[in-house]
A and B are shown apart, each in its own frame.
Chain A
Amino acid sequence: MTGTNTENTADNGVNVEALIGAREALTEAPEAAQFKWRTSSKWMNGTHSKTTINSFFGLGEEQSRGKEFSVETDHPEVFAAEDNAPTPVEVVLAGLAGCLAAGVAAVAQHRGVQLRSVEATIEGDMDIQGILGIDDEVRNGFGDIRVQFDIDADASEDDIKAIVAQSQKRSAVFDLVTNPTNVFVNVN
């Protein structure tokens, strides 16, 4: 039922030993497990913004990547915008996809399952009467979100389903889209 695979030859490119080591270390030093993630964004024009991402805080100190990522967001032409980039909500869906896939790879490797391909398509329902202020009873955010995984791996259908379920159970983005979070916005 449980237990580690003694002949675990699966290689999904995840350093499971390092993750397990980190888990053990952070169990003893929970203060080092406190992370802060950050983004800085700059409004360009219209609905177009550019967000840069570099430093974060974790393991008790500032962490710098030595490089900078950027994510742009905009809105499509049906919103009378210039469509320079995906919408913010599509970036959220990308975050969910990336988080679940990372979890699938890690859980599969831990369970000795070699993945050949993992593809996910995500669809989120949105009634834009909310954001347009037409109907106060309609929420701004997603209604339902559906994730469709297509996974090719050396495992039974139920084992693959169990890996995907475990990935959801341990996913940060799954948690933050399924549970409430306090948000504090200040203006300088």
Chain B
Amino acid sequence: MKKIATVIIGAGQAGLAMSKHLADRSVEHVLLERGEVANSWRTERWDSLKLLTPNWQSRLPGYAYEGNNPDGYMDMKQVISFLDKYSERIAAPVECQTNVHSVKQADKGYLVSTNQGEWQCEKLVLANGACNIASVPKFAADLPSDIESITPLQYRNPDQLPDGGVLVVGASATGLQLAMEIQASGRQVTICVGEHVRVPRVYRGRDIKWWMDVAGVLDMDYHEVDDINRARRVPSLQLAGSDNRDDMDLNAVDDIGVRKVGRLAGIRDGKAMFSGSLANVCALADLKMNRLLNTLDEWATENDMDRKVASPHRFESTRIDEKSPLGMDLAAEGIKSVIWATGFRPDYSWLDVPVFDRKGRIRHDGGVAEVPGLYVMGLPFLRRRKSSLIDGVGDDAKILSDHLYSALYSKAA
């Protein structure tokens, strides 16, 4: 058994950012990585995916994008190379191909068992990703067995799907992007639309992420939020990283012939049932988008930016087909596959520590878990709205490494 002050589980952007901060404080640590650096980006993403954030926003402690296309969006190869280089540059002590089998509290710290032996540590940082498991509703089990059921973690490209109609469940970034490329492959897509967050890719000539960055929206602290539990559950922004910076919203998929229906409410006798709430979820998203744009316009005026960017404007409301069906006989409509773009959650199945709430989430205060010596990173709105972004893990790692460092050395005094 090896002993070390701190174990970080996961060598993605969050683990690496923490490693950098711990190294700067000379805290002895190791990163245990089930595969290689940036493993989820390597193995659990579809082929066409690009980052939703522009290149200039890929910023990590002591490191940033250095290419000549700051306004572009990295594809997965580029993300992997970006993180590989960071790992090399900071000489992160990564133990690759190390699968964590279990974590137990032991000897005022943690005992981490892996396929490469055991580690005893005082502090443990969980940086294993927010999207390890596709959240699929229970009624997915009611799908007729001759219809293929696929999660976005399994999906790579449309060629993998059977010919015929496709039901995409969920209309956040993942659902819309997949709906778009599957429809373009010649398969009729029907998309089930529940609550979603609509934003334009470009507003007043600037990337929406630029606006959210400069206006402080992404920096919003979890203490300032009215209801942090709700903020942590907000679906991903409807965005795609494409060269032409097109909007990725319900009108865009409507333009190429994707059919919109309400949230999937259940499947019974081969029939999908859709909620009649489609008009309201679209109205909610349009109103919320306009509130964000109002905030950005106010910021522009207060900060003398009005003359440096294009004029304010508003976007077409989400078009609603009042005849959108409330049910669909899947066989009769030729649906051959269903994609569950219904969100993701982290995998803590190996974490044998009493720190979970009744929904299986880790109880934590801004990343400091409710058991001593345990930290969590990279989750939505962990400390700030940007916490789940590459650009957000640096600030979180700084604060959490401060906490970890003080906890390690204060008791010795």
Contacts from A to B (Cβ < 8 Å) = 1-4, 27, 30, 144, 158, 161-162, 165-166, 168-169, 174-175, 177-180
Q: Which label, helix, strand, loop or mixed, suits the secondary structure of the A interface?
A: helix
Interface stretch, picked from B277-285, B301-309, B336-344, B403-411, is: B277-285
Asked whether A1 and B287 contact (CB < 8 A) given A165-B280, A168-B277, A178-B277, the answer is no
Please give the distance in Å from B125's CB to the nearest CB on chain A.
27
Closest to A1 in B: B295
Which A residues touch B265, using CB under 8 A?
179-180
Pick the residue among A144, A161, A177, A180 that contacts B283 (CB under 8 A).
A161
Please give the distance in Å from A161's CB to the nearest CB on chain B.
6
Check A4–B226 contact: CB distance below 8 A: yes
Most A CB contacts (10 A, CB to CB) among B225, B287, B292, B358 go to B287
Pairs A–B under 8 Å by Cβ, sample size 26: A1-B295, A2-B225, A2-B226, A2-B231, A3-B224, A4-B226, A30-B358, A144-B322, A158-B287, A158-B290, A158-B291, A162-B287, A165-B280, A165-B287, A168-B277, A168-B280, A169-B281, A174-B277, A174-B280, A178-B275, A178-B277, A179-B265, A179-B275, A179-B276, A179-B277, A180-B268
Q: Which 3 A-B pairs have the closest CB atoms?
A: A178-B276, A168-B280, A179-B265
Please give the distance in Å from A183's CB to the nearest CB on chain B.
13
Contacts from B to A (Cβ < 8 Å) = 195, 217, 224-226, 229, 231, 262, 265-266, 268, 273, 275-277, 280-281, 283-284, 287-288, 290-292, 295, 322, 358
- Other than the given A175-B277, A179-B275, 17 more pairs (CB < 8 A) read A1-B217, A1-B292, A2-B226, A3-B225, A144-B322, A161-B283, A162-B287, A162-B291, A166-B284, A168-B280, A178-B262, A178-B275, A179-B276, A179-B277, A180-B266, A180-B268, A180-B273
Which B residues touch A174, using CB under 8 A?
277, 280
Check A169–B284 contact: CB distance below 8 A: yes
Which A residues touch B322, using CB under 8 A?
144
How far apart sit A30 and B358, CA to CA, in the bound complex (Å)? 10
Pick the residue among A3, A30, A161 that contacts B287 (CB under 8 A).
A161
How far apart sit A141 and B14, CA to CA, in the bound complex (Å)? 52
